[in-house]
RNA sequence: GGGCGAUUAGCUCAGUUGGUUUAGAGCACUUGGUUUACACCCAAGGGGUCGGGGGUUCGACUCCCUCAUCGCCCA
């Protein structure tokens, strides 16, 4: 059979993905097996695949494929998120390019555009995930805004309201003047900006030339000032107590109040108070019963209440008010000042703290339960360091503003009578019934009720995701709680924390057992990959170039849980090279001519016994890594074993001479080993392993490596493995001599071994083959005229017919002797310390004594060899 | 300003409750090798006073304190 010398992924990937889909291997139905469930972090419905998705979904696919091969009923539920504000912003922008203003559209008209956009772009990202090999049960694809999910969201709102956990109130919220909606605290990103600090003089009422000076970065807000505040402990301003000042330009009289909030060190120690436009000022205003003057319109322009600059944008006013203040003699000085400004995560607009009527969800009780669950490891975080981050947030959690002034989302199920009285119900019909009962007016109809205009925050649907994606009657008890959640640590508060809260609140138990946090994917310079920077490669291009398996391996090779991944094209390249390495090992094995009449050589028997044990050890190590969610380490283990141990040692050891046939027993054993290696690799490299597995042996229609069993380890033969390592050292020693003496590999050498009583000959035949030894002799005395080296306590001699460079040999031996003596000194220092021998565990002391014995034996051998050469 | 975390080879990272490590891996690098599965390869090799200082301990990369630098989160 002719097999190409390079693996070509493009030809095989689509073929096997289709095969898996056709055979229904991704599907899951409840049965008697133990379930293993993952729900996908739903990407934005109109989003495109980026490197973060690649990493995240590769890890999920590895976990789900492995669970499937371990006999679990593996169910990976895919889906998308309607992403309320993000999608609405995109639709608004598109309408703008068509010359349509959102404000001119009715709610229904806008929603028609939004659905059209969703149908046009929705689900592309899921198709892209298929290229990656994602083994999701696609029949289960959910959307946060589809019927069942919407029902769950609405019912949940009603339930929470009836429990008294949802309330409506006027609060200071983060207002996005561009999207014209409130956003949650988590949707505000703080950006460092260079701004200015303005020192303004406020004239003291009733005096001619007395002033107080305040410092502010926002001079335009003075028009909404309702007080000036000083710290009661600040003696500098004791004379101001009880006085009033005049707001510059408008000459409104406001009081001087005292509050310990004021930082005496900052600015001038005097603070202007604008309760309508700053959260801290708002709180101070509440404490002191101050009036609140809202000088801003929803779009960020100044309102009538400002009296001046009405209708102009706040940033324009900031420019224009300064010369006015200067003219009026109120501007003392201006300093440069760096501060952080809150911006909308979605629109980028500078957020304005604003008083408005919103719906809130009480968090404190739910947060406590969810905090405990994580702190006592009922829900485990990987890595655990995120527990601290989580705790800090949960202990300071504030009520969740769940209303948004948008169209695209779940409309809040609150229905108002004209009187303002409202009723919360899943449907308007239920609301009518409630209204009838409450008012005693049985003539009420749906026409008398108006539904709340606001929609719910997008996370109010995502937080139900692990339960809402399952059939509530037949399935949810089987699949829920899910097993593992894989997500970026950037949404630990948005999403992870809230899912945990929802899990306990509605299901009485955690939504998932483990959370695996991935890091951010960054470029070589450490910048987060983003569309704006244009520093993110297109995942589809990458997969076309390096193969999906190559990209998967590349991403995994250096991405520990929670650690950022510095992505560079050398990574998928390495993955591609590994795929090719496996491919060529396959070529080698399939290329051998098999002859069942040949006897199995001794060196092959030895190699098989060793690699059999090596595989057991590998399986155990991989299992251990997975149990700790060290997925990169698990991959690296298989990677190294395949490349170093299987290819470079095992295959080289059993390889027959050029164009010679291989015996049947060896072929059979080798194919079995290969098969096990492939199954260990399959979760990481699904396509390549399937392609090879299908050809390695005759397979029946419908068979697949993805539904085969993960190999299980036999009890470990550690002694055997150690003996092989000694043999490797000996081969290495001989290779080094060849290099130093310039002896080509094809020239056979003789080897004398001074091994002592404990010498293990188990792998001598492999040694002879791998080092190309003509004759290997066990000797009881040092060989004269030979180059020597040691492996453990064995001494090896390669006779050189007097071609020895004595000085070079001596130098080598002395260097080794010095190292051994240094090592022994360290050991002896410990052993001669009575307190060490007395207080260290016995096993530790025994180990040190063994080290001492070995080092002493080596030193004796080296000293003798040196003495002999010095003669 | 508050909190969390990091700092180990040129780069990216391991080092799993302090003791098989005078520190490991992958990549990169140097040298040698190819009619023999793979140059997307093989072999050998160099390279680190574990960020600085102090402490606890018989023993510290590992625990504590402190300083420095960086990153992230929150206000």
End-to-end CA distance of chain A: 62
Check residue A595 and give its pLDDT.
93
CA triplet A439, A445, A446: central angle to 5 degrees?
Answer: 115
Q: Which of A255, A514, A261, A250 lies closest to A380, judged by CA? A: A514
User: Can you tell me which residue has its alpha carbon closest to the C1' of nucleotide B43?
Assistant: A735
Give the number of other Cβ atoms within 10 Å of residue A584's Cβ.
Answer: 16
Alpha helices in A106-146 (DSSP H): 107-121, 124-132
Q: Which nucleotide is nearest to A650 (CA to C1')?
A: B37
- Tokens of residue A350, six digits: 């500078």
User: CA-to-C1' distance for A577 and B49, Å?
Assistant: 37
Q: Which nucleotide is nearest to A580 (CA to C1')?
A: B40
- Tokens of residue A101, six digits: 């203003």
Q: Which nucleotide is nearest to A581 (CA to C1')?
A: B38
User: Can you tell me which residue has its alpha carbon closest to the C1' of nucleotide B6?
Assistant: A563
Which residues are CB-neighbours of A334 under 8 A, at least 6 positions away?
A: A196, A197, A198, A199, A322
User: CA-to-C1' distance for A632 and B26, Å?
Assistant: 11
Name the β-bridge partners of A80.
Answer: A143
Task: Round to whole Å and give the CA distance between A200 and A222.
Answer: 10
Which residues are CB-neighbours of A690 under 8 A, at least 6 positions away?
A: A12, A16, A19, A682, A704, A705, A706
Q: Which nucleotide is nearest to A728 (CA to C1')?
A: B43
- Give the dihedral sign, CA A266/A272/A273/A278: negative
> 3-state DSSP call for residue A172?
strand
Q: Which stretches of A684-779 are assigned E, i.e. beta strand?
A: 749-754, 773-778
Q: Are A175 and A356 in contact (CB under 8 A)?
A: yes
User: What does DSSP assign to residue A753?
Assistant: E
> 3-state DSSP call for residue A283?
helix
User: What does DSSP assign to residue A44?
Assistant: B
Check residue A61 and give its pLDDT.
97
User: CA-to-C1' distance for A350 and B35, Å?
Assistant: 71
Q: Are A440 and A399 in contact (CB under 8 A)?
A: no
- Give the dihedral sign, CA A670/A673/A678/A681: negative
- Tokens of residue A58, six digits: 């590769």
- Tokens of residue A433, six digits: 């019934």
Give the ipTM of the model, two decimals please: 0.93
Give the number of other Cβ atoms within 10 Å of residue A489's Cβ.
Answer: 22
Q: Which residues of A386-415 are buried (b: 16+ CB within 10 A; e: fewer)?
A: bbeebeeebeebebbbbbbbbbbbbbbbbb
Q: Which nucleotide is nearest to A646 (CA to C1')?
A: B37
Q: Which nucleotide is nearest to A8 (CA to C1')?
A: B40
Task: Round to whole Å and give the CA distance between A404 and A453.
Answer: 9
User: Can you tell me which residue has its alpha carbon closest to the C1' of nucleotide B5?
Assistant: A385
Task: Round to whole Å and give the CA distance between A590 and A394.
Answer: 59
Alpha helices in A592-661 (DSSP H): 602-627, 631-640, 652-654
Domains of chain A: 181-353 (3.90.740.10), 569-716 (1.10.730.10), 743-870 (no CATH)
Reported as half-sphere exposure (CB side, CA atoms, 13 A), residue A640 has a value of 13
State phi, psi for A455 to the nearest 5 degrees.
Answer: -110, 175
Give the number of other Cβ atoms within 10 Å of residue A657's Cβ.
Answer: 6
User: What does DSSP assign to residue A778?
Assistant: E
User: CA-to-C1' distance for A241 and B30, Å?
Assistant: 78
Task: Round to whole Å and give the CA distance between A492 and A11.
Answer: 39
User: CA-to-C1' distance for A855 and B58, Å?
Assistant: 22
Q: Which of A273, A187, A191 lies closest to A227, judged by CA? A: A273
CA triplet A247, A251, A256: central angle to 5 degrees?
Answer: 40
User: Can you tell me which residue has its alpha carbon closest to the C1' of nucleotide B21?
Assistant: A823
User: CA-to-C1' distance for A739 and B30, Å?
Assistant: 14
Reported as half-sphere exposure (CB side, CA atoms, 13 A), residue A105 has a value of 18
Residues in chain A, pLDDT under 70: 1, 186, 530-533, 558, 802-803
Which residues are CB-neighbours of A559 under 8 A, at least 6 positions away?
A: A55, A518, A519, A565, A632
Task: Round to whole Å and give the CA distance between A390 and A374.
Answer: 8
Q: Which residues of A47-74 are buried (b: 16+ CB within 10 A; e: fewer)?
A: bebbbbbbbbbbbbbbbbbbbbbeebbb
User: CA-to-C1' distance for A584 and B26, Å?
Assistant: 21
Give the number of other Cβ atoms within 10 Å of residue A264's Cβ.
Answer: 16
Task: Round to whole Å and give the CA distance between A759 and A794.
Answer: 7
User: CA-to-C1' distance for A297 and B28, Å?
Assistant: 59
Q: Which of A659, A661, A652 lies closest to A745, judged by CA? A: A652
Q: Are A143 and A82 in contact (CB under 8 A)?
A: yes
Q: Are A81 and A45 in contact (CB under 8 A)?
A: yes
Task: Round to whole Å and give the CA distance between A643 and A149.
Answer: 47
Name the β-bridge partners of A619.
Answer: none
User: CA-to-C1' distance for A571 and B49, Å?
Assistant: 32
User: CA-to-C1' distance for A529 and B7, Å?
Assistant: 24
Number of alpha helices (DSSP H) and beta strands (DSSP E) in chain A: 28, 31
**pLDDT per residue as tens digits for the range A623-668:** 989 988 889 889 999 999 999 999 999 999 999 988 899 999 999 9
- Give the dihedral sign, CA A286/A287/A292/A295: negative
Chain B footprint positions (protein CB, under 7 Å) = 2-6, 11-14, 16, 19-20, 22, 25-28, 32-33, 36-45, 58-59, 71-75
User: CA-to-C1' distance for A708 and B46, Å?
Assistant: 45
Give me Rg for the CA atoms of chain A. 37
User: Can you tell me which residue has its alpha carbon closest to the C1' of nucleotide B74?
Assistant: A393
> 3-state DSSP call for residue A344?
strand
Q: Which of A534, A525, A533, A532 lies closest to A568, judged by CA? A: A525
Residue with tokens 């000293």: A863
Q: Which nucleotide is nearest to A658 (CA to C1')?
A: B36
User: Can you tell me which residue has its alpha carbon closest to the C1' of nucleotide B35?
Assistant: A658
């Amino acid at each position: 059979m002719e097999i190409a010398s390079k693996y070509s992924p493009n030809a095989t990937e689509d073929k096997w993905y289709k095969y898996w889909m056709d055979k229904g291997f991704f599907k899951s139905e409840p049965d008697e097996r133990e379930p293993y469930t993952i729900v996908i972090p739903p990407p934005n419905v109109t989003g495109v695949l980026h490197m973060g998705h690649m990493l995240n979904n590769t890890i999920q696919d590895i976990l789900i494929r492995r669970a499937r091969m371990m006999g679990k009923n593996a169910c990976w539920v895919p889906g998308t998120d309607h992403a309320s504000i993000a999608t609405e912003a995109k639709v608004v922008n598109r309408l703008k390019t068509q010359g349509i203003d959102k404000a001119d559209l009715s709610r229904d008209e806008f929603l028609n555009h939004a659905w059209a956009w969703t149908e046009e772009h929705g689900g592309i990202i899921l198709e892209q995930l298929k290229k990656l090999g994602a083994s999701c049960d696609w029949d289960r694809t959910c959307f946060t805004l589809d019927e069942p999910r919407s029902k769950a969201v609405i019912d949940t709102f009603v339930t929470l309201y009836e429990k008294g956990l949802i309330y409506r109130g006027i609060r200071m919220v983060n207002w996005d003047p561009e999207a014209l909606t409130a956003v949650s605290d988590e949707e505000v990103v703080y950006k460092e900006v260079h701004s200015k600090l303005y020192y303004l003089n406020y004239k003291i009422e009733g005096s001619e030339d007395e002033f107080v000076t305040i410092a502010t970065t926002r001079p335009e807000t003075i028009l909404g000032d309702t007080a000036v505040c000083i710290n009661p402990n600040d003696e500098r301003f004791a004379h101001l107590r009880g006085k009033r000042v005049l707001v510059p330009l408008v000459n409104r009289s406001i009081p001087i109040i005292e509050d310990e909030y004021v930082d005496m060190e900052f600015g001038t120690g005097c603070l202007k108070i604008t309760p309508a436009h700053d959260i801290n000022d708002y709180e101070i205003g509440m404490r002191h019963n101050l009036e609140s003057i809202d000088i801003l319109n929803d779009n960020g322009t100044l309102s009538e209440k400002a009296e001046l600059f009405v209708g102009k944008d706040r940033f324009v006013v900031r420019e224009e008010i300064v010369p006015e203040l200067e003219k009026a003699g109120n501007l003392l000085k201006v300093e440069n000042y760096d501060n952080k400004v809150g911006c909308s995560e979605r629109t980028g607009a500078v957020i304005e703290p604003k008083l408005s009527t919103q719906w809130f969800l009480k968090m404190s009780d739910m947060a406590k339960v969810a905090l405990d669950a994580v702190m006592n490891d009922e829900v485990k975080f990987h890595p655990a360091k995120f527990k601290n981050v989580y705790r800090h947030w949960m202990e300071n959690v504030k009520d969740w503003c769940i209303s948004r002034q948008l169209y695209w989302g779940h409309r809040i199920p609150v229905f108002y009578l004209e009187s303002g009285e409202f009723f919360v119900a899943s449907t308007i019909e239920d609301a009518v019934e409630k209204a009838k009962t409450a008012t005693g007016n049985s003539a009420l109809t749906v026409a008398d009720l108006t539904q709340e205009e606001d929609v719910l925050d997008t996370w109010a649907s995502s937080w139900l995701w692990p339960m809402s994606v399952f059939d509530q009657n037949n399935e949810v008890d089987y699949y829920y709680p899910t097993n593992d959640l894989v997500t970026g640590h950037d949404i630990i508060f948005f999403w992870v924390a809230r899912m945990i809260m929802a899990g306990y609140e509605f299901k009485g138990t955690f939504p998932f057992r483990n959370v695996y946090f991935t890091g951010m994917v960054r470029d070589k310079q450490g910048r987060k990959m983003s569309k704006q920077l244009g520093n993110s490669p297109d995942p589809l291009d990458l997969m076309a170039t390096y193969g999906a398996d190559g990209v998967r391996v590349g991403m995994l090779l250096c991405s520990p849980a929670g650690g950022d991944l510095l992505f560079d094209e050398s990574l998928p390249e390495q993955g591609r090279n590994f795929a090719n390495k496996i491919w060529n090992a396959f070529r080698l094995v399939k290329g051998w001519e098999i002859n069942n009449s040949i006897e199995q050589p001794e060196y092959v028997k030895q190699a098989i016994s060793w690699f059999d044990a090596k595989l057991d050890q590998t399986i155990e190590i991989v299992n251990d890594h997975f149990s700790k969610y060290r997925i990169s380490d698990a991959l690296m283990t298989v990677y190294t074993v395949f490349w170093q141990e299987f290819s470079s040692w095992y295959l080289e050891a059993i390889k027959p001479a050029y164009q010679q046939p291989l015996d049947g027993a060896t072929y059979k054993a080798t194919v079995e080993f290969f098969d096990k290696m492939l199954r260990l690799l399959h979760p990481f490299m699904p396509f390549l392993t399937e392609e090879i597995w299908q050809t390695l042996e005759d397979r029946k229609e419908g068979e697949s490596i993805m539904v085969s069993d993960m190999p299980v380890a036999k009890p470990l033969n550690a002694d055997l493995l150690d003996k092989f390592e000694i043999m490797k050292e000996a081969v290495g020693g001989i290779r080094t001599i060849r290099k130093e003496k310039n002896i080509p590999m094809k020239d056979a050498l003789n080897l004398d071994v001074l091994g002592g009583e404990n010498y293990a000959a188990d792998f001598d035949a492999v040694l002879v083959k791998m080092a190309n030894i003509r004759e290997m002799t066990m000797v009881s005395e040092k060989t004269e005229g030979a180059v020597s080296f040691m492996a453990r306590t064995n001494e090896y001699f390669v006779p050189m017919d007097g071609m020895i460079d004595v000085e070079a040999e001596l130098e080598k031996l002395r260097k080794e002797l010095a190292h051994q003596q240094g090592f022994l000194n360290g050991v002896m220092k410990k052993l001669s310390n009575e307190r060490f021998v007395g207080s260290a565990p016995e096993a530790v002391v025994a180990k040190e004594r063994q080290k001492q014995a070995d080092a002493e034996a080596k030193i004796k051998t080296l000293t003798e060899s040196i003495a002999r050469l010095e003669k």
